[in-house]
Structure 1
Amino acid sequence: MKKIIILPLLFLTFISWGQAQFIVQNGTKTEVYNNINTAIENAVAGDTLYLPGGGFSITDATIEKTLHWVGHGHYPTETEATMQTRITTGLVFTGDCDNSSFEGILFTSSLNFGSSDDEAINIKLKRCRVINTLTLRSATTGNPDLNFQISECVLQGVNGNYGSNCTIEKSLIFSYIDKFYQSNFDHNSINVNGSSSYGYSAVRYSDYCTFTNNAFGVKGGLYTSTSNNLYNNIFAEPLPYNTSSTNGGSDNIYSVGTANIYTTIIGNIYTFEYENDYHLNTSSTGTAESDASTVSILSSASDGTNAGIYGTTTPYKVIPYYPHINTATIASEAANDKLGVNINAAAQSR
């Protein structure tokens, strides 16, 4: 299995110094294309599409087949040898894209799922960045089971349009969490500078959701949202509910202060910067919900680790699961009819 995965990525790195190449893999069968549009057109449902570094525009912005999209990642420091993998076209993935997955891609425009009469379900998004709001469904009526899974991503905002059974974990979120129903948010770092029009809240129009082990670096309120449960979260500001609220929870830490919650923030906390360090500030304290005592914000998650993206036994990573190419050097000309190529790649445990 590892050979099947690593060879396409190494091949992509070697040829990235020439014309960009796109690899479509179906089991042990591999096809190579010079154009992303041709690769998508020729791929069949269930294929894996390996994307090189660079920025790519897709002619048909509506995708109607199940594919597994794999890029090199979006963190500049980790993609010096390959460049970021960027898709610059606003895309819509219809309900025919059920069970698709995406990893290591920077989407610089809109990213939308589902159509008015067909939900996209069982979608997985991992270690990607979406510049604009990520929208999980087209329709806005009902509470269908989407089983949408988002992990270790950087999101400007995310709109569930009242879909249910979504899981968002270990992700950085910088605008509103909108319209979710019976969904779970675990170990995220949520940094929303809420508007006064929405009560300076981070969560809007969401009901029966569970928020566990998250770090709310700016606003933490819940606007027009009911029956949500919040456990073991850290809030820069006061608790977002009171005794008269239908929302509730326990074991949260609050009033930490926006300037104190993370290790290093350059500029505004509600603007994502690659240079920022979103580990919790080791010296910061807050007020314990249980007894109003002053406590450390460390090790307060329900699993005994830290709240936010660097909690759990498998914390946030910046590069895709697939073997990562650290350095690549290709000679500018051949010597003795041989071209010198030196590529260093490392596999990951997850």
Structure 2
Amino acid sequence: MKSLYTFMLLVLCSTISINAQKVVALHSPTNGVQYFDGTSALQDAYNAAVATDTIYLPGGTFTPPALFDKQLTIFGAGHHPDATSATQATTISAHVYLGDNADGFYLEGVNISGSLYLGDANDVSVNDIVVKRNHFDSLIAQGTGDTNTSNNNLFVENVIYSLSTHNLRSSSFSNNIIEHRSNGPFFNLQFVNNVFITSYYNGSYPIITYANSCVFRNNIFLQEYTYLCSGDGQSEWMNNIFCHSNPTLGLDPVLTSNYNMSRADVLVDQTGSIFDYVHDYHLKTGALSNLGDDGTQTGLYGGVYPWKDFSIPTNPHIVSKTISGSSDASGNIQVDITVEAQDN
């Protein structure tokens, strides 16, 4: 834990010393710690990194490499505006592409201005990745899904605009907020404790397309239209909250202990068809009694990965900083920094 505190403090202090440029830290068990600044800081850190290295991104905006094709761990400062006032949010300013050699990639605490791409149209696979507490547009797993598919990936506590996963199998989505359409085909995927906000074109298309042999547990579907899911392979639906009395759930769905509620009675404060940071996704009193299959809450705050308010990353978090406006006779300035460890 001390080493993580040191990284965060050194990054901030280095930022001050080079006239407020953002400094990216690269930690390598092989090559030690290196620092990079300037407009190409993330690219330079990536170029210097080898597999299993860790990159720490401070708040600010960074241009990504054209392809992440190494097994790396990347931590940002977070994306929620209320939790990043001291550092700014960490933003990656373009699409993020993961290549065939990025198996085991870990990404946490960033806002991606574009989409997250797994592989390419030639069925390049990306396996065993973890994507946690990020905010991005679409998750796109390309290819036909017939061969070399992407497997065993975990997406947890993210805000995702939409899914387009033609090349993704045997992966899990837990405790995410998914704004719009989830476009399959999906094969052997698990969706657990997510909140699905809205339908597509006011119910003209299902919010989930082509779900085959998937499992949906403890989710909340805010769609108020009947056409919720299509698919020609049987899926299981357990302990979900539906905001329609009889939603369409694909071919011969297996239904166990699901709930039907008015949308207005489910969440404390959520309106409209898009995600907003000012919303409150906690359950109202009446919905709290509709438990998941594991005995915890349905939705974001239940399950194995309960949602962390403000989406603060798991690495130590800078919660405040004060920098004096002038220097003393020796040229020193006063810097006060408060850093908090995170328990999860």
Q: Give the structure-2-normalised TM-score.
A: 0.90
| Counterpart residue identity of residue 12, structure 1 | V
Task: Note if 1:301 corresponds to 2:292.
Answer: yes
Task: Note if 1:103 corresponds to 2:105.
Answer: no
Shift of 1:323: 0.8
- Equivalent residue number for residue 349 of structure 1: 343
Q: Give the structure-1-normalised TM-score.
A: 0.88
CA contact (8 A) 1:211 1:230 kept: yes
Q: Which structure 1 residue ranges, 5 or more long, are not aligned?
A: 284-295
Matched position secondary structure for 2:13: helix
Task: Note if 1:41 corresponds to 2:35.
Answer: no
- Equivalent residue number for residue 266 of structure 2: 261
Matches of 2:169 and 2:131, distance apart in 1: 16
CA contact (8 A) 2:25 2:33 kept: yes
Shift of 1:143: 7.6
Matches of 1:73 and 1:281, distance apart in 2: 27
CA contact (8 A) 2:24 2:56 kept: yes
RMSD of aligned residue pairs (Cα, Å): 2.1
Q: Which structure 2 residue ranges, 5 or more long, are not aligned?
A: none
Choose 119-128 or 245-254, whichever is displaced more: 245-254
- Equivalent residue number for residue 291 of structure 1: none
- Equivalent residue number for residue 235 of structure 1: 242
Q: Counterparts of 1:15-94 in structure 2 under 5 Å?
A: 15-17=14-16, 18-27=20-29, 29-34=32-37, 35-58=41-64, 60-94=65-99
Task: Note if 1:194 corresponds to 2:187.
Answer: no
Structure 2 CA distance for partners of 1:40 and 1:313, relative to 1, 3 Å? closer
Structure 2 CA distance for partners of 1:101 and 1:349, relative to 1, 3 Å? same
Match of 2:183 among 178, 181, 195: 178
Task: Note if 1:321 corresponds to 2:311.
Answer: no
- Equivalent residue number for residue 248 of structure 1: 254
Matches of 2:247 and 2:254, distance apart in 1: 9
Matches of 1:227 and 1:104, distance apart in 2: 35
Matches of 1:76 and 1:141, distance apart in 2: 41
Shift of 1:297: 4.9
- Equivalent residue number for residue 4 of structure 1: 3
Deviations 1:49-87 (A, max 9, x none): 1111111123x4222222111100000000000000000
% identity of equivalent residues? 26
| Counterpart residue identity of residue 334, structure 2 | G
CA contact (8 A) 2:178 2:197 kept: yes
- Equivalent residue number for residue 283 of structure 2: 280
Matched position secondary structure for 2:285: coil
